[in-house]
Amino acid sequence: MALALNEIQKAMQGRDFLCMSDYTREELKEMIALALHLKKEQKMGVSHPILQGKTLAMIFRKSSTRTRVSFEVGMYQLGGYPLFLSSNDIQLGRGEPIADTARVLSRMVDGIMIRTFAQAEVEELAQFADVPVINGLTDLLHPCQVLADLMTIQEYKGKLAGLKLAYVGDGNNMAHSLLIGGAKMGMKVAVASPEGYLPQAEIVAKAQAFAAESGGEILVTTDPVEAVTDADVVYTDVWASMGQEAEAEERARIFQPYQVNEELVAKARADYLFLHCLPAHRGEEVTAGVIDGPNSVVFDEAENRLHAQKALLALLL
């Protein structure tokens, strides 16, 4: 069955997806609406092979479960072909310049998704590629995850604007993208992190500017109780991300007061949603009682990576 795209959606074709700040509030709303539509129709058995004959190169310099499966299965369900490329599979891992990789792949594929360490690598890839480039994750940002997060909140709450989203933990790529994405959508985003682990000031300033336009609010604090009080959504992430394994013991000590537990979530609204990008370490950043409790929607959130990525692929490719 053909997929009817409206004019706003058609305007996204051929663009990169490096950061949510590159898209307007209306464009992000259209992405989420399309993701929800694709999910509904998939459950009804409706297929949309609109990317038949198209190929997506997927470069992984960081390992993955949800990112790889969502893009690979999503591309397949849209009729296209996903091509998995690890650092061991391509010359990029042996020192080939990113610009050369971009030029070569652009002549053979219809889109590139990359999951890597430095944001600069993604931006350079996009600069020299002639096909859309999607940021599957960097140390700075994780926009694909937050697209699925916003979709999940919309699915459960029926809206985004005016809701309070509290993130507790490391001021990392998740915190950064939640700040930007939430601010774009008119949400009240509160981030609580220890001193020395707060989100980057440049990202916070950008989020504050977006919030001023959308009617949202931004709060960055070291107090998790302040962040979570009256929250509609409570979010956390692991204390030590990939590449930070050597810091794990020190981080566990520093972040212990920032554990999302039953005492902390009691400060949120009674019908709060608990989100986590996964993988989760029960007993560390979150207790089993919270992540496996009645307010947790982490597995719906994980499934929505598939539908959000399908929307992204349908729009850009």
Residue type, 65: T
106 known ligand binder? no
Among 125, 93, 120, 123, smallest CA distance to 109 is for 125
Residue closest to 211 by CA, chosen among 193, 189, 194: 189
CA distance 129 to 309: 20
How far is residue 39's CA from residue 25's CA, in Å, rounded to a whole number?
21
Tokens of 3: 């997929």
Amino acid at 317: L
Active site residue: 61, 176, 276, 305, which one? 305
* Measured distance CA(276)–CA(224) in Å, rounded: 16
User: Is 3 one of the annotated binding-site residues?
Assistant: no
Q: Name residue 114's beta-bridge partners.
A: 59, 135
305 is in an annotated binding site: yes
Separation in Å, CA 210 to CA 12, 213, 257, 259: 20, 5, 30, 29
**Is 187 a known ligand-binding residue?**
no
Q: Residue 19, annotated ligand binder?
A: no
Among the listed residues 237, 259, 276, 309, the single catalytic one is 237
Does residue 241 have a known ligand-binding role? yes
Q: Is 77 marked as binding a ligand? A: no
How far apart, in whole angstroms, are the C-alpha atoms of residue 145 and residue 158? 19
Residue 65 annotated in ligand binding: yes
Among this protein's residues, is 305 annotated catalytic?
A: yes
- Told to judge if 237 belongs to the known catalytic residues of this protein, a careful annotator would answer yes
Give me the residues paired with residue 286 across strands.
260, 282
Q: Which of 115, 251, 276, 307 does the annotation list as catalytic?
A: 115
61 is in an annotated binding site: no
CA distances to 1, 49, 50, 141, 313 from 53, rounded to whole Å, are: 16, 10, 9, 30, 13
- Per-residue tokens: 73: 């299965």
Does 49 appear as a known binding residue? no
Q: Is 307 annotated as catalytic? A: no
Tell whether 66 is in a known binding site.
yes
Catalytic residue among 77, 145, 154, 259: 145
Q: Is 67 marked as binding a ligand?
A: yes
Sign of CA dihedral 241, 242, 248, 251: negative
Q: How far apart are the first and last CA of the chain?
A: 17
Q: Per the annotation, does 25 bind a ligand?
A: no
Residue 251 annotated among the catalytic residues of the structure: no
64 annotated among ligand-binding-site residues? yes
Which one is catalytic: 16, 276, 277, 309? 277
132 among annotated binding-site residues: no
Question: Annotated catalytic residue: which of 61, 68, 142, 176?
Answer: 142
Q: Judge whether 142 counts as a catalytic residue.
A: yes
* Residues with a known catalytic role: 115, 142, 145, 237, 277, 305
Pick out the residues of the known binding site for L-ornithine: 173, 237, 241-242
Pick out the residues of the known binding site for carbamoyl phosphate: 64-67, 91, 115, 142-145, 277-278, 305
